């Protein structure tokens, strides 16, 4: 808060207020009439209006009403030599940020300005966080050694002050790790602000990061704070940093080295205290070699690196994550906690997850919604393109439960678990499934309940499959 507009019809009072505010290191401007103040507000931006309550033509309360309508969010502090509880209550009811009695001391004025600034910043941060953070901090689920080691490393990094670079494929959870670092850092009480550098053009991203002054470009009707200002005292996540243009890379490097910048279209230097975390699915060393990413910025970001392994290399995390997402979306829709059948668990473990944790979450969310909270079996799991990439070894878990005699097809497959000689290779998955179910039914003498138990599916699932195949003429 730096630029203040004083409105007072008394020349001596205006002069005193200007001098008192200047002693605080701020830049005040003063006018002698409310109408002049309104005209000034149409052409310039101010951080606060300090207005006398009693003035000829238009009172301070009337000026407050007009400013609230025309410039919402601009704080107004009213002051008067004729103070009363009634006028104070009315001023606050109409939206005044505070109320002071004349004569105003510099100390009292400083306290009010600090209070208004804190309130304004909290309102701005809360508005951003409500729109950007949704349900708040995500919960991390980890069982694999690699992910547990990553969390241990992230916890150590959280206590430091250095810049963090998180790398990994899309959907591995880079943003969640960034939030985890913030939550475990000394800055946890401050804001956690994030920006997707790939979602905006160069000019829009510059304005988003650093803010802009009124008139800086077409459509800039009012001054706006950027994400660096919103993140002051906290953490700023720059996601997809590899997509940032070279021009913005130079400006980012300056902020990282000097902790200061100017808004777009402005000349005032703004200092901030922000910890920067960056994330990318690109190989930044390759981007540096190709000339698309600044080498000096890369080394400035690569202070505390963290790499997230893809989900296909973290097999131990798949089922705990699936159960976590199932509980989350069941609770969100008011369902009972669904149970993953053995068939579903085998399919989840066998899929290669090209979309990583994000893909797993989407698969489970769809399954919970489509089954209305019932048990999640294989039929409820809808995978994306290339869904025949499941591992043959894992598919064998569908053929027989542990401790039971596998079917003849499973025995043949176990003799050749991998490679082109596997009898399951190059076969349509539906055919393998149908042969397995029919063989198990034959082994149980047509007992569907026992066959379902051996296959690890529900009797209902088995019955539905048989009905479908009869309609299609695939079985008698």
| CATH number, domain containing residue 101 | 3.40.50.2300
Cα separation, 290 vs 471, whole angstroms: 58
Instruction: For the beta carbon of residue 414, count every other beta carbon within 10 angstroms.
Output: 15
Same domain for 229 and 269? yes
State the pLDDT at residue 103.
79
Report if residue 235 sits inside a domain: yes
Residues in the chain: 476
Total structural domains in the chain? 4
The whole-model pTM stands at 0.61
Residues 285 and 166 in one domain: yes
Same structural domain for residues 280 and 328?
no
Residues 355 and 426 in one domain: no
Residue 37 in domain = yes
Per-residue pLDDT 10s for the chain (476 aa) are 678 999 999 898 889 889 888 888 888 999 999 999 999 888 888 888 999 888 888 888 899 889 888 887 789 988 877 666 677 677 777 788 887 887 788 888 888 888 887 777 666 655 555 444 444 445 688 889 889 999 999 999 999 889 999 999 999 999 999 999 999 999 998 999 999 998 888 888 999 999 988 888 777 777 888 999 999 999 999 999 999 999 999 999 999 999 999 999 888 889 999 999 999 999 999 999 999 999 999 999 999 999 999 999 999 999 999 999 998 888 888 888 888 988 889 989 888 899 999 999 999 998 888 887 678 888 888 886 544 344 333 333 333 344 444 444 444 444 444 444 555 554 556 667 788 888 888 888 888 888 888 887 777 778 878 877 776 677 77
CA dist 320 and 316 (Å) reads 8
Same-domain status, 324 and 295: no
Any idea what the CATH number is for the domain that residue 167 is in?
3.40.50.300
pLDDT of residue 140: 83
In a domain, 137, yes or no: no
Structural domain contains residue 131: no
Phi-psi bin for 219: left (phi > 0), alpha (psi -120 to 50), beta? Answer: left
CATH number at residue 352: 1.10.8.60
Residues 92 and 170 placed together within one structural domain of the fold: no
CB atoms within 10 A of CB 416: 14
Residue 208: CA count within 13 A, CB half-sphere: 19
b vs e for 158-175, b when ≥16 Cβ sit within 10 Å of the residue's Cβ? beeeebbbbbbbebbbbb
Which token pair is 189?
A: 């009480």
In a domain, 133, yes or no: no
Q: 343 and 288 share a domain?
A: no
**DSSP E strands, 208-268:** 235-239, 260-262
Cβ-proximal residues to 86 (8 Å cutoff; 6+ apart), any chain:
none
User: Which ranges constitute the DSSP H helices of 303-405?
Assistant: 315-333, 342-350, 356-371, 392-395
288 with 336, same domain? no
The answer to whether residue 132 is domain-embedded is no
Question: Do residue 211 and residue 303 come from a single domain?
Answer: yes
User: Is the Cα dihedral 225, 230, 235, 241 positive or negative?
Assistant: negative
Last residue of a domain, one of 307, 341, 370: 307
Residues 159 and 303 in one domain: yes
158, part of any domain: yes
Question: Domain end: 71, 105, 120, which one?
Answer: 120
Q: Flag whether 374 is in a domain.
A: yes
| Domain C-terminal end among 251, 272, 307 | 307
Which residue, among 308, 274, 288, has the nearest Cα to 163 in the 3D structure? 274
Q: CA-to-CA distance for 238 and 48, rounded, in angstroms?
A: 31
Q: Domain range holding 94?
A: 3-120
Is residue 9 located within the same domain as residue 33?
A: yes
Q: What is the pLDDT, as a whole number, of residue 275?
A: 95
Q: Report the C-alpha gap between 399 and 446 in whole angstroms.
A: 16
Q: Are residues 303 and 315 in the same domain?
A: no
């Amino acid at each position: 808060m730096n630029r203040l507009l004083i409105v007072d019809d008394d020349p001596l009072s205006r002069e005193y207020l200007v001098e008192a505010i200047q002693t605080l290191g701020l830049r005040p401007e003063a006018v002698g009439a409310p109408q002049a103040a309104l005209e000034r507000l149409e052409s310039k931006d101010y951080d606060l209006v300090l207005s006398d309550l009693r003035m000829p033509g238009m009172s301070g309360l009337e000026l407050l009403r007009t400013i609230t309508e025309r410039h919402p969010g601009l704080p107004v502090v009213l002051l008067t030599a004729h103070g009363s509880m009634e006028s104070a209550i009315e001023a606050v009811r109409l939206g005044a940020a505070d109320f002071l009695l004349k004569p105003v001391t510099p100390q009292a004025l400083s306290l009010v300005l600090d209070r208004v600034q804190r309130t304004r910043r909290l309102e701005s941060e809360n508005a951003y966080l409500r729109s950007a953070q949704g349900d708040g901090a995500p919960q991390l689920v980890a069982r694999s050694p690699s992910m547990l080691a990553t969390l241990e490393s992230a916890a150590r990094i959280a206590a430091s002050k250095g810049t963090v670079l998180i790398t990994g494929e899309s959907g591995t959870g880079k943003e969640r790790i960034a939030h985890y670092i913030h939550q475990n850092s000394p800055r946890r009480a401050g804001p956690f602000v994030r920006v997707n550098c790939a979602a905006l053009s160069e000019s829009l991203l510059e304005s988003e990061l650093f803010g802009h002054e009124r008139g800086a470009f077409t459509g800039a009707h009012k001054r706006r704070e950027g994400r660096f200002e919103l993140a002051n005292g906290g953490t700023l996540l720059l996601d997809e940093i590899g997509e940032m243009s070279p021009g913005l890379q130079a400006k980012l490097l300056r902020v990282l080295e000097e902790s200061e910048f100017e808004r777009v279209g402005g000349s005032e230097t703004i200092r901030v205290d922000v910890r920067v975390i960056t994330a990318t699915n690109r190989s930044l060393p390759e981007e540096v070699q190709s000339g698309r990413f600044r080498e000096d910025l890369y080394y400035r970001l690569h202070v505390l690196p963290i790499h997230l392994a893809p989900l296909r290399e973290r097999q131990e995390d798949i089922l705990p994550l699936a159960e976590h997402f199932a509980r989350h979306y069941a609770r969100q829709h008011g369902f009972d906690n669904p149970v993953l059948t053995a068939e579903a668990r085998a399919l989840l473990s066998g899929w290669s997850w090209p979309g990583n944790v994000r893909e797993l979450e989407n698969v489970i969310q769809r399954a919970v919604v489509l089954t209305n909270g019932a048990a999640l079996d294989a039929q409820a799991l809808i995978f994306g393109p290339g869904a025949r990439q499941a591992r043959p070894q894992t598919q064998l878990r569908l053929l027989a439960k542990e401790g039971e005699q596998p079917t003849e097809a499973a025995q043949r497959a176990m003799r050749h678990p991998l490679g082109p000689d596997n009898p399951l290779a190059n076969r349509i998955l539906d055919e393998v499934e149908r042969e397995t179910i029919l063989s198990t039914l034959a082994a149980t003498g047509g007992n569907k309940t026992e066959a379902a138990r051996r296959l690890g599916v529900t009797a209902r699932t088995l019955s539905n499959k048989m009905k479908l195949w009869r309609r299609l003429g695939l079985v008698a």
